[in-house]
Amino acid sequence: MSPVAATRWCPTPEQLMILEEMYRSGIRTPNAVQIQQITAHLAFYGRIEGKNVFYWFQNHKARDRQKLRKKLAKQLHQQQHHLQLQLQQIQPKSMSMMPQPLSNIIDHHNHYQHHHNHHRSYDHMSFGCCSQGIGVEAQSKVLSEHYCNKSGHEDMLMQRPITGQNTSYGRDWMMMMDMGPRPSYPSSSVPVPYCNMMMMNSPKIPLKTLELFPISSINSKQDSSKL
Amino acid sequence: MSPVAATRWCPTPEQLMILEEMYRSGIRTPNAVQIQQITAHLAFYGRIEGKNVFYWFQNHKARDRQKLRKKLAKQLHQQQHHLQLQLQQIQPKSMSMMPQPLSNIIDHHNHYQHHHNHHRSYDHMSFGCCSQGIGVEAQSKVLSEHYCNKSGHEDMLMQRPITGQNTSYGRDWMMMMDMGPRPSYPSSSVPVPYCNMMMMNSPKIPLKTLELFPISSINSKQDSSKL
DNA sequence: GCAAATTAATGATTTATTCAAG
DNA sequence: CTTGAATAAATCATTAATTTGC
C-alpha cells in the first residue's frame, strides 16, 4: 500500500499563503469550478484535494466569524450595562425586565393582551416579513464584510438572487456528476432556474466544457434570460 | 440607487446581538413604548423600524417555544423507552429478539482508529519547498472512498474505514471533487505565483496562466461574487 | 538540549437551521 | 406541512507549538 496520504492534509506554506491571499481578496465560498481550479494550482506545491480547499474556506470563514463575534460581544458587553440601565428608565417596573426564570409565567400572563395591543398598533404594517432570499446568509455576509471590508462593495454584498437559490456548491456538484453517470440532459439546456445573473457566482456549465470554450457567452445568455 | 431599503430588514450583527441579549434577559413582548425605545437604540447600528423589532420578538419567541417543545418531546420519548426496558427486565419474555431501529445503536460508535504510520508523509513535502512529486497520492484516497458507498448496505461492515472518511453526505461530492484536482500537472506548467488569478475583481480578467486554465471566462464574474 | 506532557490550531465530520418548492 | 438544498455552527480528531522535568 502507498506509504503516504493516510493522514489529513497539511498545507504547505505556499499553499497556505495562496489560500490566505485569496481569502483576503474576498473569496469566501468558492464554487465547484473555482475549487477545482484552486486545487489544480495548489497541487503544484504539494498534495491537495478539492475537499481540502473546500474545507479550508469553510473553516476559515467560520473561524473568522467566530473571532469577530467574540470581539463584538466583548464590545457590546459594556454597552449592555448601559442599555439595561436605559431600559430600566423606560419602564422601571416593567415585567419585561424580570430575570429569565419568570419569563414563561410572565409571558403567559400578558401574551394575549400584548399581542392584541400590538397587533392593533401596527395594523397598517405590511406583513411581509418573509419569503425573500435574504436571511442568515446576509447576516453572515455583514459579518464578513466587517472583517475584510474592501471598499464600497456593500451593495453587492447584500445582493442575493432575490428569488433564486443561493449560488452554491449544490448545483455544481450535480453538474460534475453529470460527467459520469448519466447525461440527463444535453449540456446546452440546463434545467436549473437561473436567477443569479448579476450575482455572478455560479457557472452553471457542465464541467466538461470548461476546457473547451469560454463560458461567458453562455452566461450572458442566461443572464438575459432571467430577471 | 440608494443601497437597498427596498428589501426586508436584515439585522446587523450588533442589532442582532442586542436583541438576543434583551431576549435572554427576559423581554418577550415589548410594548409600544419599549419598541420605540429599542428601535431608537438599534437605529444607531443600521436601518430599522419598529415593526422589525416587533416581529423579531414575535418570531423569536415562537421559535424558542418550538425548540423547547421538541426537546421535551424527545426527553419524554426517551423516558418511556427506558421505562419499557425496565419493565421488560422485570418480566423477561422474548427480549432477545426485540426488533429495534438498529441505526440508533449502530450509529454513534464511530471514532476512527488511529494511524500512526504517517507522519512520514511530510518527508517529501519539505515545508519550504515545492515542486515535486505530487500527483500520485490521490489515487489511494479515491480507492478507499470507493468502498464505502451509499446504496449498498453491505457497506455497514465497512463503516468507519480505518483511514478515514466517515460515511455521510459529504463524501459523495467529495468524490466528485476528486475528479478534478488532477494533481498531474502538465510538465510544462509553471506555478505562476498566482494568488490573484482567482479573485481579480476586475470584470475583465487579465491573467497569465490563461493558456493552462480557462479560468478567465468563469472567474470574471464569480470572483467578485463573494467578496 | 530532549522528549514526554500539555495546550493551541486547524483539518474533517456531523448536526441544526433556514428558505422555499412541492 | 413536508422536504430538499445549502451552509453555518458545533463538534470531533490530529497535528503543531509550547511547556515542563530531567
Beta-carbon separation of B8 and A203 below 8 A: no
- Cβ of B138 under 8 Å from any chain A Cβ? yes
**Is B123 within the bounds of a domain?**
no
d(CA B68, CA A30): 36
- Cβ of B134 under 8 Å from any chain A Cβ? yes
The integer distance in angstroms from the CA atom of A17 to the C1' atom of D17 is 19
Instruction: Name the residues in A164-223 having a C-beta closer than 7 Å to nucleic acid strand C.
Output: 164
Pick from A3-17, A55-69, B106-120: least confident: B106-120
Question: How much is the pLDDT for B41?
Answer: 84
Decide if A47 contacts B183 (C-beta within 8 A): yes
Contacts of B29 (CB under 8 A, 6+ apart): A96, A107, A110, A111, A114, A115, A118, B57, B58, B61
CA distance A60 to chain B (A): 14
pLDDT in tens, A82-104: 776 766 665 554 434 333 333 33
Average pLDDT, chain A: 55
**Is A128 within the bounds of a domain?**
no
CB pairs under 8 A between A and B: 302
Of A201, A194, A182, the C-alpha closest to A223 is A194
pLDDT band at A30 (very low <50, low <70, confident <90, very high): very high
As a whole number of angstroms, the longest Cα–Cα distance in chain B is 79
Q: What does the pLDDT profile of chain B (227 residues) look like in tens digits? A: 444 445 778 777 778 878 877 787 778 878 777 788 888 888 888 888 888 888 888 878 777 777 676 667 656 666 666 566 555 554 444 333 333 333 333 333 333 333 333 333 333 333 233 333 333 333 333 333 333 333 333 333 333 333 333 333 334 454 444 433 333 333 333 333 333 333 333 332 333 332 333 333 333 333 333 33
Question: How much is the pLDDT for B42?
Answer: 86
pLDDT in tens, A127-138: 333 333 333 333
Decide if A15 contacts B211 (C-beta within 8 A): no
**Is B213 within the bounds of a domain?**
no
Cell of A3: 506509504
Residues of A in contact with B26 (CB under 8 A): 96-100, 102-103, 106
CATH number, domain at A61? 1.10.10.60
**Is A21 within the bounds of a domain?**
yes
The integer distance in angstroms from the CA atom of B215 to the C1' atom of D13 is 35
* Protein residues with beta carbon less than 7 Å from any atom of strand D: A 7-8, 10, 29, 58-59, 61-62, 65-66, 136-137, 140, 165-171, 173-174; B 110-116, 118-119, 122
Of A178, A227, A225, the C-alpha closest to A205 is A178
Cell of A179: 460527467
E strands present in B58-147: none
d(CA A107, CA B156): 49
d(CA A110, CA A130): 26
Question: How much is the pLDDT for A131?
Answer: 33
- Cβ of B21 under 8 Å from any chain A Cβ? yes
d(CA B25, CA B17): 12
Statement: the CB of A16 is under 7 Å from strand C: yes
Which among A72, A180, A203 has the least Cβ separation from residue B14?
Answer: A72
**Is A58 within the bounds of a domain?**
yes
Question: How much is the pLDDT for A55?
Answer: 96
E strands present in A11-158: none
Nearest-Å Rg of the Cα atoms of chain B is: 28
The integer distance in angstroms from the CA atom of B1 to the C1' atom of D15 is 50
pLDDT in tens, A67-84: 888 887 777 777 667 776
pLDDT band at A215 (very low <50, low <70, confident <90, very high): very low
Q: What percent of chain A has pLDDT over 70?
A: 34
Residues of A in contact with B166 (CB under 8 A): none
DSSP codes joined into one string, A126-141: ----S-SS-SHHHHHH
Q: End-to-end distance of chain A based on CA atoms, in angstroms?
A: 54
**Is B94 within the bounds of a domain?**
no
**Is B100 within the bounds of a domain?**
no
Q: How many domains does chain A have?
A: 1
CA distance B29 to chain A (A): 7
Please report the residues numbered 38 through 97 in chain A whose beta carbons come closer than 8 angstroms to any beta carbon of chain B.
38-41, 43-51, 54, 68-69, 72-73, 76, 79-80, 83-84, 86-87, 90-91, 94, 96-97
Place of cell 475549487: A35
Question: How much is the pLDDT for B79?
Answer: 63
Which among A49, A121, A155 has the least Cβ separation from residue B181?
Answer: A49
d(CA B161, CA A188): 40
Decide if A196 contacts A167 (C-beta within 8 A): yes
Of B165, B86, B9, the C-alpha closest to A55 is B165
Contacts of A130 (CB under 8 A, 6+ apart): B8
Of A138, A215, A193, A30, the C-alpha closest to B198 is A30
**Is B74 within the bounds of a domain?**
yes
The integer distance in angstroms from the CA atom of A76 to the C1' atom of C21 is 39
d(CA A94, CA A119): 20
* Nearest nucleotide (C1') to alpha carbon of A202: D6
d(CA A89, CA B88): 60
Question: How much is the pLDDT for A82?
Answer: 72
Residues of A in contact with B227 (CB under 8 A): 25-28, 148, 150, 153, 156-157
Overall residue count recorded for chain A in this entry:
227
SS3 at position A197: helix
Domain hosting A34: range is 9-88
Question: Span A26-36, mean pLDDT?
Answer: 91
Question: How much is the pLDDT for B201?
Answer: 31
Residues of B in contact with A83 (CB under 8 A): 18, 21-22, 41
Question: How much is the pLDDT for A50?
Answer: 94
Question: Span A46-52, mean pLDDT?
Answer: 95
d(CA A117, CA B194): 61
State the SS3 of chain B. CCCCCCCCCCCCHHHHHHHHHHHHCCCCCCCHHHHHHHHHHHHHHCCCCHHHHHHHHHHHHHHHHHHHHHHHHHHHHHHHHHHHHHHHHHCCCCHHHCCCCHHHHHHCCCCCCCCCCCHHHHCCCCCCCCCCCCCCCHHHHHHHHHHCCCCCCHHHHHCCCCCCCCCCHHHHHHHHHHCCCCCCCCCCCCCCCCCCCCCCCCCCCCCCHHHCCCHHHHHHHHHHHCC
d(CA A144, CA A188): 36
Question: From the candidates A78, A87, A211, which should be mutated to test the interface with B, based on the most B CB atoms within 10 A?
Answer: A87
Task: Kindly report the pTM of this predicted structure.
Answer: 0.45
